[in-house]
Homo-oligomer: A and B are copies of this chain.
């Protein structure tokens, strides 16, 4: 029982904070160790490489996102379309929270890593893609319920869910670039209006 060592957790949390606030390549192992109050040797005792650490950081982020964002937004007790509004509100709150300390909007931690590393590291690319797929699945389920209950006209469910993921990520990216939380306030609520119509045969 007890806490066998919190070292690993400290490394993980510190790495998450630094990498999220800056970037993968910009943050070095030495800096992570320093800020976590850990020595190089301990780092490499727990993680075979910086790359493996990053994969672990991704898991960490995914777990946190699930409980802080997804589980709360995609609550079956909420009417389907309202879940989208909930998602937007929660995401805004989280972004605000992260922006507070450094005064910088940080965007989506998954999207940031994906953009930086997708073309360079296949494992990380795949992991981020899986994360997006999970969000897409939740959205698709929500849309399906909305259509079934008549709250939403028929749409291409898969494409619309994916488009919502894209929009969500795009808004966070834009907010990061403008370094302005208001972008999220302004744009994210329109998530519920994203629609990909069912595709018809080409218009000749």
CB of A129 within 8 A of chain B? yes
- Report the interface size class on chain A: 35 or more
* Option from B104, B120, B125, B173 in Cβ contact (under 8 Å) with A22: B120
Chain B residues, CB < 8 A from A179: 118, 125, 129
Chain B residues, CB < 8 A from A132: 174, 177-178
* Option from B115, B176, B193 in Cβ contact (under 8 Å) with A112: B115
How many copies of this chain does the complex contain? 2
CB of A119 within 8 A of chain B? yes
Chain B residues, CB < 8 A from A167: 163, 166-167, 170, 194
Chain B residues, CB < 8 A from A125: 177, 179
* Option from B104, B162, B176, B186 in Cβ contact (under 8 Å) with A162: B186
Question: Does the CB pair A166–B170 fall under 8 Å?
Answer: yes
